[in-house]
Amino acid sequence: MSKGQKSLEMIVGMIILLVVAAVVINMFLNNVKPPDIPDPKKMKLEQISSTCEQWCEAYSSGDLAAGISYCSEQFSLVGESEIAERREGIRSYCEDSFYCFLVHDCQLANGQTLNAGRCKELLCQKFKASYLEKKDASEEAAIDYASDKITRLIKKGSCDLGGDESPDNWYTWVFEAQQTDSGWKIFCS
């Protein structure tokens, strides 16, 4: 065998060895992945959704207090004022102030849905009824009380959801909040 032929065989052998080494290293890197680091925002949203699901199920079974919690409990994701979006229903909400009806679809046993509009009705009815039970007052006074109470409970958040007429602005579109001299107000009827 000539010296040139040995050198050529050695070069071909080295190339084959490099290809095999590259394949082995690639297989190793593809099979050994770093552990997934959970997104804290996603984890908190899943926890909130689970809480909302529990309230929804309890309300569907007749627990009015669970329905009130579902509609009025305010959540925040890491204190941020960014806009978050959903794929269904009301698409946008502020991450620093949102409610179950914005992130969870509550299908009741009777086939109805506890959505933002139904939540407004439920809260207004509850607060009017509780005012009338405690005081010998007029319907108008009860409506004023319920409007004040729901305005204190339901907040849009600090982000910009678009204009007042935008369907993405659930606060003005569904809750029909209106700007007054003293700030935003939700009116019960």
Averages of pLDDT over runs of 10 residues in the chain (189 residues) are 73 83 79 71 85 94 93 81 56 82 87 90 92 80 90 86 69 82 85
C-beta separation of 92 from 173 below 8 A: no
The pLDDT assigned to 90 comes to 53
- Asked whether residue 35 is domain-assigned, the answer is no
Extract long-range pairs of 47-54: CB within 8 Å, 24+ residues apart: 48/75, 48/100, 48/103, 49/103, 49/104, 51/100, 52/100, 52/103, 52/104, 52/106, 53/104
- Asked whether residue 149 is domain-assigned, the answer is yes
The pLDDT assigned to 20 comes to 84
- Asked whether residue 15 is domain-assigned, the answer is no
Structural domain that includes position 134: 40-185
The pLDDT assigned to 21 comes to 81
Burial of 84-123, coded b for 16+ CB within 10 Å and e otherwise, reads: beeeeebebbbbbbbbbbbbbbbeeeeeeebbbebbbebb
Domain count for the chain: 1
As given in the structure block, the two tokens for residue 156 are 């849009």
Q: How far apart are CA 67 and CA 25, in angstroms?
A: 56
- Asked whether residue 131 is domain-assigned, the answer is yes
Closest CA relative to residue 68, chosen from 189, 153, 131: 153
- Asked whether residue 124 is domain-assigned, the answer is yes
- The whole-model pTM stands at 0.73
C-beta separation of 116 from 101 below 8 A: yes
As given in the structure block, the two tokens for residue 135 are 């005081």
- Asked whether residue 101 is domain-assigned, the answer is yes
Q: How far apart are CA 88 and CA 107, in angstroms?
A: 14
- Asked whether residue 34 is domain-assigned, the answer is no
Q: How many CA atoms lie within 13 A of 23 on its CB side?
A: 6
pLDDT digits 0-9 by tens, 103-139: 888 998 888 899 988 999 999 999 999 888 877 778 8
- Asked whether residue 175 is domain-assigned, the answer is yes
